Each structure stands twice: as structure tokens, then as C-alpha cells.
Chains A and B, each alone.
Chain A
Amino acid sequence: MLAIRTEALTKDYAVGFWRKRPYRALDRLTLEVAAGEVFGFLGPNGAGKTTTLKLLMQLIYPTSGRAELLGRPAGDVDGRRRIGYLPENPYFYDHLTAEELLTYFAAVFGYRGRARRDRVARLLDEVGIGVERRLQLRKFSRGMLQRVGIAQALLNDPALVVFDEPMSGLDPLGRRDVRRLILRLRDQGVTVFFSSHVLSDAEALCSRVAVLAGGRLVASGRLGDMAAFQVRGWELVMTGLDEARVDRVRDRLLGATRIGDGRYALELPLESAPDRLVAELSAAGAELVSLNPVRDTLEDFFVEQVTRSAASAPPRWPAGGGA
């Protein structure tokens, strides 16, 4: 079953003061997210990530195309009972405390009495809001508001959560907590769809990713399946080496970097046999510290895709839109 499905989803905004003209924020996005997966929606600032998420939650309406969440059209009110949403840089009511805000939202879902109180207390505990829960939200830091935002997105035990930049504004501890939370949701069978430009988060959490640039989908798939993530060589780190010994094997290396104190990082091509080189250098008194395959990182891939997309300069002014 699909948790999210979009078909040629497109959004144009009217920009300009006197002469309005359409600006294409999202261009024919077709995407499928399976139930139960953690899906990363990546892209640089202005790529159209937040626009997509707002379209999914029907905070904005599409110019064309369609979107379905959990088998229902985006915006279906009953469908939202099973969906949680964290907006980017969430902001809530200044005059309410964290506890009151969650109680208010829980009432919208129809929770009453003790069940509501328990649910609110449990969620605030889960996101690490302690005694501060009785403070008005205007006294909260950005990171604390982010935690409250995550709690309100989980109030209804959703089957699908849509997080817009969930790590934004969090300190390292907060980021770790959110990563754990996302993994826990995944283990409970919840589909997690989150946007981010922090690639390490996607690498650590996602089964699949999609990369958006200039309002267009430029890549999507399993991280491991993407050609860019295939092993393209080996990196050896050895101690007990000197410049003369490294020079003797230099013709078999792609590169050698002196780390210090007789320690070198040696880069080998994929077709070479690293074990033979290790044996040869060990016989000469060197010692193996580590041997790792070299892959492109998501960051390399991301930069390449975004740069390529920018070079081909997709028009953001749709046909007839001028400029």
C-alpha cells in the first residue's frame, strides 16, 4: 500500500506587484512513498520541498496534478485523522502553555477527560518537555518549540507523519532524540516523510530519498541502489610507513596522504586487490589500521545533481508566463 502518491503535482504562484506572472514553485512532481518506510525529501533552499509538503496538507492548492495520502485525496478531512504534520519552524499561540496547546489540539481530535490528559502528558515526556510544559509558549526557545511541534504531530497516533525540516533549530542532543524518535516510529510501522537539507540525517534514517532542485524531481530511489553510491575504490590507513616505502607502491595508488607519525591514508582503485598491498607493506614492518570501501557520499551526489539541474536551468516561468 502507498502512503503518499503524487501525480504530476504542479504549483504556480503569481509574483510581481503590477504585472502578475506565474512562477513555477513545483513542476510535475510524481512520487510514491510506500507504507512503513522512512522517506527523505531532499533539496537546497527554494527547491520546492515546503511547497510540496503544504500541497500534501492542502494548505495550498495545486495548479494541476493530484496527491493522495493513505489512499485518500490530499485535504480529505477524515484522512487527516491518521496524519501528523510538523510545519517548518513551527509557531504556536503565545498565550498558551505547551500543555494547553496539546490539550487544545487533542480536543480537536475528539479526545476527552483523562485519556486526553494522559496522552498529552505522555507526548510531552516523549519529546523531552519537562516542567516547562506549564510555561507560556512565548517563553520557549526555537528548539523547544520544535519539540512541541513534533509532539502535536504525534497526538493522534498517526499512520503517516509529514515533517518539514524536523531537525531545524535543535541542538545535537535534540537531533539525536529526533533521529531515535523517527526510527521508533518506523519500528511501529508509521510512515515517515520528512524534508531536509541535512544529508547526514537522510543517510542515517532513510530507506529511500528523492532529490528536488529548481522545483523538479532530479533523482529518487534507494540510497544503496543509486549508481552514485556504488563502491569506487578502497581506502587503507596504515602506520609504520615512511615516504620511501609509499613511493615504492605509488604507481598502484590513486593517492596517498600523510596523516602524521608514520600514518598514511592510501587510496586504491576498485580493481586492485587491497589485501595484497596490505600483506606487502606489513612484511616491510607497516601495520594496518583500517580498510574501508570508498563511496560517493550523499553530499557528493546531492551537489552533483543540484549543479547539473542548475546547469540545465529548468524554466520556472511556465509557458505563457513571460520572462
Chain B
Amino acid sequence: MKALRVVGTIAVSVFRESVRDKVLYNLVFFALLLISASYLIGQLTAGQDVKIIKDLGLAAMLLFGLFIAVFIGIGLVSKEVERRSIYSLLAKPIRRHEFIAGKYAGLVLTLAVNVAVMAVALYLVLACMAVTEPAAVRAAWEAPAVDPAMLEAILLIFVELMLVTALALFFSTFSSPILSASFTVGLVIAGQFDSDLKHFRAIVHSRAVADLTRALYYVLPNMAAFDVKAQVVHGLPVTAGYLAVTTAYGVSYVAAVVLAAMVIFARRDFR
């Protein structure tokens, strides 16, 4: 109970810090701008308008969420250590793993609020579309404008952002913000091609390389698995099973990475 209270207190502080960060406002502003602009772009394309709005809106949600996760996530621990604000805090009755859990929970809370704001904005734009377009145009849409199925894509975007936050936090427990950002972005990009690694051994002759790529396939996060935007936009079904398995995969990966961050942080000297 005490541990939960401490984690909650730290999480609320991170949330407050993020909310007061100008970077966050800039990112949210540009995300909302892009979602709104998608409406105008949709007007220029006959019959494709809703798809473009959904596609651009979901992409903006992911992209700006990634910016927030990386740029705030990498500073969560390293900034506290660099500025020495951590000394006073860790001298309080706080266990080091509670500190990490609180920092993580705080940024995930920030991301949840941001994703919710962007989702509401996207649904508003789409609702506007549904009201203003004539019935004949609406009949040609593959999926309704205000489609609840979009929430499936938004859920997986959120899980992906949770994972990226965990990676940024992990690197920030032992490296500088610049290195943390490089490692995190590198892993996110590599994770997009993770599925390709599975089939790599079919085209390489070296057993060692094949084994290495196989090992990498299991170790690297499979970021592409979280991308169901295309199905949702085109009105194709995403099964509940797929959603459950992918979410479980993301949450397990997050747990492993946060645990690793806790282990490293628990042994660290603050010189």
C-alpha cells in the first residue's frame, strides 16, 4: 500500500512536470493541426476523404506520441541525475524500483491523456465530415466516418507508445539523454523490420548469421505488430484475439524492460 502511494505520488509529479513542459504543448498543437489539416486534404481527393483523414489522424497520433515518449522519456531519469534533484528524493523513504515505476507510470499517464485528446479531435473531424457530406458520398465509404473500430488501432498505438516509453526510460537509467534518444529511436526503427529477421535465414548461407538474426528477431520489439491502421481505415476486421495477443505481447515486453531498468538503477552510484 505504501509502495503504491509512493509510486502514485511520483507519477503525479511526472505528469505535472510534463504538463508544464512547453515541448509537450508544441507537439500536441502540431498533432491537432495535422489532424485538422487532414480534413482540408480530404476535400481535395474525391471519394478518398474519410480514409485520408483516418490515415493521417492515426499517423499523427503515433508520430507525435513517439516524439513525446522519446523526448520526455529520455530525460525522466537522466535529467534528475544530471541536475542532482534525485539526491533529495532518494534520501526519502523511497525504494529505487518505486522511483522507476513512478516515473514510468507518470509518463504513461501523460501519453494516455494526449492520445485521448488526439482521439477526440480525430473523431470530431470525422463527425464533422459525416454531417456535412451528402448521403451519396457517405454510401461510397468502406467504413463509417465515426467508426468505433478505430479505437482498436488507437489501443495498439497506445501500447506501442507504452513500449517506446519503457525503452526510453531503460536507456535513461544508465546513459546520457543524447545516447538514450539514439538507442531508443534505433530500436524503434529496427523493430519495424523485426518480422523480416524471422525469414532472414532463408536467404543467408552462414549458420552463425542465421542464428544471430533469429536471436535478434526474438529480442527486438516487433513494432510492426502494433500497426493495424490500414485494416481499420479500409474497414477490414481486426480480431479480438489479435488485439489481445498483441496487447499481451506489448505489456510483457514493457514489464521486462521496466524490470531491467529497475535492476540497473538499483545498483547505480550517484556520484
Contact = CB atoms under 8 A, between A and B. Distances in A.
A291 B197 CA distance: 90
A90 B9 contact: no
Given A13-B271, A95-B16, A108 B92 contact: yes
B87 A104 contact: no
Contacts, number: 76
A249 interface: no
A60 B21 contact: no
B245 interface: no
A110 B4 CA distance: 11
A78 B93 CA distance: 6
Contact of A60 (B20, B84, B88, B269): B269
A107 B9 contact: yes
B234 interface: no
Interface string B196-216: 000000000000000000000
B239 interface: no
Contact of A110 (B5, B95, B269): B5
B93 A90 contact: no
Tier of interface size on chain B = 20 to 34
A91 B83 contact: yes
Contact of B92 (A13, A61, A109, A149): A109
Contacts of B247: none
A87 B88 contact: yes
A105 interface: yes
Interface residues of A, number: 31
Contacts of B84: 87, 89-91
A90 B13 contact: no
B88 A59 contact: no
A77 B3 CA distance: 11
A83 B88 CA distance: 11
A108 B4 CA distance: 11
B94 A60 contact: no
A182 interface: no
B149 to A, nearest CB: 39
A172 to B, nearest CB: 25
B16 A110 contact: no
Given A54-B87, A60-B271, A96-B13, 14 more contacts: A13-B271, A57-B87, A59-B87, A60-B269, A60-B270, A77-B94, A80-B91, A80-B92, A85-B91, A89-B84, A93-B17, A95-B16, A100-B16, A108-B94
Interface of A: 13, 54, 57, 59-61, 77-78, 80-81, 83, 85-87, 89-93, 95-96, 100, 104-105, 107-110, 149, 152-153
Shortest Cβ-Cβ A-B pairs, 6 listed: A85-B91, A87-B87, A60-B269, A95-B20, A107-B9, A59-B270
